[in-house]
Amino acid sequence: MTMGHRLRLGAGSAALRVQRWRAERRYDRRAPDPGSPLNPPLRSTIRMREMMSRHYLAGRSVSGSRPVAWVTSGAPTEILKALGYHLVYPENHAALCGARRRAEALSSAAEDAGYSRDLCSYARTDLGSLLSGDTPVGSLPPPDLLLCCTNICQTVLYWYRVLADHFGCPLVLVDTPFLYGDAAEPHQVDFVRRQLEDMVPAAEAAAGREFSLDGFTAVVARAKQASDLWLEILERARHRPSPLTAFDSFVNLGPIVDLRGDQATVAFYESLLAELDERIARGVGAVKDERLRVLWDNLPIWYRIGPLSRWLAERGVNVVASTYTHAWGELAEMMDPAEPFEAMARVYLHPILNRSTGHKLAAMRRMVEEFSIDGVILHSDRSCKPYSLGQIDQRDRLVADVGVPALLLEADHNDPRSYAEEQATTRLEAFVEMMS
């Protein structure tokens, strides 16, 4: 890193600290809004935004000083963390573009280049950003290595082949067999474990550094600690009134995805958990008049998080839990620093999208009971077909067997062109009436 890069990074970090300090002062001085159906948002979110902004800022100056890897959201990044890689998650970047209303233009840029609108809108957003150079984070560092894991979908394999061709860098694939049963078989765990061990030399070669088993063990230990904390945070929503909404957990998901394995992530989630416990002690709910509690299935609709949260809160509805956010904490118990390769092979075999639709239905049944759920919204995501597969049957089983209303809400997680406002509002109104 040149002296100029260091100065710019230092100046940017200082500006982010000042921005966070000012936001916290405004938060502490703000007067209650009696007209809002929501209590003030979580103060910790201010710190989360600084963390994620700092991560993207570091990426703008990291080339030449640290190796860079672009990774899928289900990839075994702990190995790369142990080698000092700076990690870029195109899916997280695409979600940020969606939340900031940039995804439609970027998706259109990808479509103009010949990519189908039927592709995942994360992929189209990422490829559109790559082709146009447009991004809300300034710039993304080019990768020295691409790491793709098929435990979330097969689209990522073709997406990352495009990236490998564009950047001319190595692509490491971790192929995870689909789990039809309750748990992985020993031969499946061994198959993935050997792939994790085999990726080490390729990652060493691209990084120009030597892998340390002790360093890997330490990263896994921090990743487990952060994942345990994340699960505790989500389970605080069992309280009535819940101190947070699922929309809060969507917003604060970034560190457990992008910065898992960092000590700063552990510290952040410790502070967020403390804030939630303080809210519980004071009886403060995220929704002022929480009457009905809802479970959300699938990815969020990033460009509608705020409006949906307010619309539901105005009717006393709190979306308290989500299958998507729980996916980042429910496997923490499998993480074992004493057997890092074996344990992480199990972890990366068991994500919700690498398991059967029956498994997801069982998980939703359990969450309906544990979170005292009054109804379920299943986001039928136009461009995330693996997550949406089976939702019609899951909806029917929830209604018939569990006895809760369930709504199939058609949209797209990142592309607003697939969201019909009037139709969605009409269906949500009928859903709320069914729960009341």
Q: What is the mean pLDDT of residues 284-298?
A: 98
The tokens describing 391, both together, are 């939702």
**What are the E-state strand segments in 253-306?**
292-297
Confidence (pLDDT) at 182: 86
- The beta strands (E) that lie in 150-222 are given as 171-174
Distance CA(189)–CA(185), nearest Å, equals 6
Band of residue 344 on the pLDDT scale cut at 50, 70, 90: very high
List Cβ neighbours of 175 (8 Å cut-off, separation of 6 or more).
Answer: 149, 150, 195
Q: Of the candidates 214, 136, 201, 140, which has an alpha carbon nearest to the alpha carbon of residue 172?
A: 201
Residue 302: HSE in the Cβ half-sphere, 13 Å Cα cutoff: 24
Answer yes or no: are the C-beta atoms of 257 and 325 closer than 8 Å: no
Q: What one-letter code names the amino acid at 378?
A: L
Q: Residue 7's pLDDT is what? A: 62
Report residue 69: phi and psi, to 5°: -130, 135
Q: What is the pLDDT of residue 64?
A: 84
Q: How far apart are CA 196 and CA 198, in angstroms?
A: 5
- Angle at CA of residue 325, ends 102 and 249, nearest 5°: 70
Tell me which residue has tokens 């080339």.
63
* Tokens at 219, concatenated: 């990263």
pLDDT over 70 (residue 2): no
Confidence of residue 13 (pLDDT cuts 50, 70, 90): confident
The answer to whether the CB of 166 falls within 8 A of the CB of 130 is yes
Separation of alpha carbons 435 and 423, rounded Å: 19
**193's tokens:** 């474990």
Polymer length of the chain: 436
User: What is the model's pLDDT at position 5?
Assistant: 61
Q: Average pLDDT for residues 148-154, to the nearest whole number? A: 96
**278 to each of 249, 285, 296, 371, 391, how far by Cα in Å?**
17, 11, 25, 20, 37
Q: What is the pLDDT of residues 359-382, one digit of tens each?
A: 999 999 999 999 999 999 999 999
CA distance 250 to 322: 9
Asked if omega into 255 is within 30° of 0 (cis), the reply is no
pLDDT at 8 over 90: no
pLDDT beyond 80 at 132: yes
Report the C-alpha gap between 90 and 120 in whole angstroms.
Answer: 12
Percentage helix, strand, coil for the chain under 3-state DSSP, each rounded to 5: 60, 10, 30
The contacts of residue 380 (CB under 8 Å, 6+ apart) are 298, 388, 391, 408, 409, 410, 411
Q: What is the pLDDT of residues 393-407, one digit of tens each?
A: 999 999 999 999 999
Q: What confidence score (pLDDT) does residue 63 get?
A: 83
Above 80 in pLDDT, residue 192? yes
CA distances to 45, 121, 207, 405 from 245, rounded to whole Å, are: 13, 25, 40, 19
Report how far Cα 126 is from the mean position of its chain's Cα atoms: 16
CA distance 22 to 115: 43
Instruction: Tell me: pLDDT of 3 over 80.
Output: no
pLDDT tens digits for range 56-95: 999 998 988 899 999 999 999 999 999 999 999 999 999 9
Confidence of residue 101 (pLDDT cuts 50, 70, 90): very high
Q: Are 125 and 325 in contact (CB under 8 A)?
A: no
- pTM of the full structure: 0.96
Whole-number pLDDT of residue 27 = 94
Cβ neighbors of 328 (< 8 A, separation 6 or more) are: 227, 230, 253, 256, 257
N-to-C CA span, the chain: 59
Cβ burial 383-393 (10 Å sphere, 16+ → b, else e): bbebbbebbee
Sheet-wide strand order for 145-149:
86-88, 68-71, 145-149, 171-174
Kindly state the tokens that stand for 14: 């200082």
